[in-house]
Amino acid sequence: MAGHSKWANIKHRKGREDARRGQIFTKLARQITIAAREGGGDPDTNFRLRLAIDKARAQNMPNDNVERAIKRGTGELGSENLEEVIYEGYGPSGMAILLEALTDNRNRTASDLRHVFSKHGGNLGESGCVAWMFEKKGRLVIDRQKTPIDEEALMLEAIDAGAEDMEIDEELVEIITAPAQFEAIKNTLEAAGYEFEDAEITMIPDNTVEIAPDKAQQALRLLEALEDLDDIQEVHTNGDLDEEALESA
CA gap 176, 241 in Å, rounded = 20
pLDDT in tens, 212-222: 888 988 999 99
7-74 and 133-205 have identical folds = no
The CATH number given to 83-131+207-247 is: 3.30.70.980
- The tens digit of pLDDT for each residue in 27-75 reads 999 999 999 999 999 999 999 999 999 989 988 899 999 999 999 999 9
Task: Give the chain's mean pLDDT.
Answer: 88
Residues 6+ apart with CB under 8 A from 29: 56, 61, 65, 66, 68, 69, 72
When the candidates are 3.20.20.140, 3.30.300.90, 3.30.70.980, 3.40.190.10, the CATH number that belongs to 133-205 is: 3.30.70.980
- Amino acid type, 82: L
| Domain map (residue ranges) of the chain | 7-74, 83-131+207-247, 133-205
pLDDT digits (tens, 9 = 90+) for 144-166: 888 888 999 999 999 999 999 99
d(CA 135, CA 75): 33
The CATH architecture of the domain made up of 7-74 is Orthogonal Bundle (1.10)
Q: In 3D, which of 212, 156, 203 has the Cα closest to residue 1?
A: 203
